[in-house]
Amino acid sequence: MPSEKRVARLLSIEVCYSSYYSDLPKSELISRALELQEVPYMKRYELGLLNSVLDLCLANTEEDTKLIGRFLSEEWEISRMDNLKLSLLRVAVSELRLSNVAQRNLVINEYVSLGRLFLPIKEVGFINAILEKLASEIQGK
C-alpha cells in the first residue's frame, strides 16, 4: 500500500492534469478525483501536502511551464509536451519549491517512480533528467 504522501502526490498530478480541461476550483477537482478512485487506499492521503503542492502548482501554471521549457533541448518546444508529463513536472516543481535541499533526491525519486506508472521507460529517463535540472535551478545547487 502506498504512503499517504505518495497518494497525495498522485492525486496532485491528477488534479493538475484535470485543470487543463476544467475551470473548476481546486476543491471541486479534488472531490472529483476522489470520486473516481476505486481503490480504498487512494482515499487516504496527506492533506497538507496535497493542498500545499496544488496551491503552488495551480497558482504558477504559466511561470512553471516557462521554467520547464527552459530545460528542454533546442529542438523541443514546451507546446509539444503532453499534459500528463507537464502535470507531473509542474507538481514536482511545486514540491521542490516547498522542500529543502536535503529532501531534493527523495522528491525527484518519488516523481520518477510515479512517472513509471504512466509513461514508457524512455520518457521516465527524460523526466528524471529534467527534474535534476529543475531542482538545481530551484534550490540553487
Band of residue 141 on the pLDDT scale cut at 50, 70, 90 = low
Q: What is the pLDDT of residue 125?
A: 94
Q: Which residue has the higher pLDDT, 103 or 43?
A: 103
pTM, rounded to two decimals:
0.93
Amino acid 68: pLDDT: 96
Residues 50 and 12 sit within 8 Å (Cβ to Cβ): yes
Find out if CATH 1.10.940.10 is the number for domain 4-139.
yes
Q: Which residue has the higher pLDDT, 7 or 140?
A: 7
DSSP-assigned letter for residue 4: H
Backbone angles phi, psi at 4, to 5 degrees: -65, -30
Give CB contacts under 8 A, 24+ apart, made by 71-78. 71/130, 71/133, 71/134, 71/137, 72/130
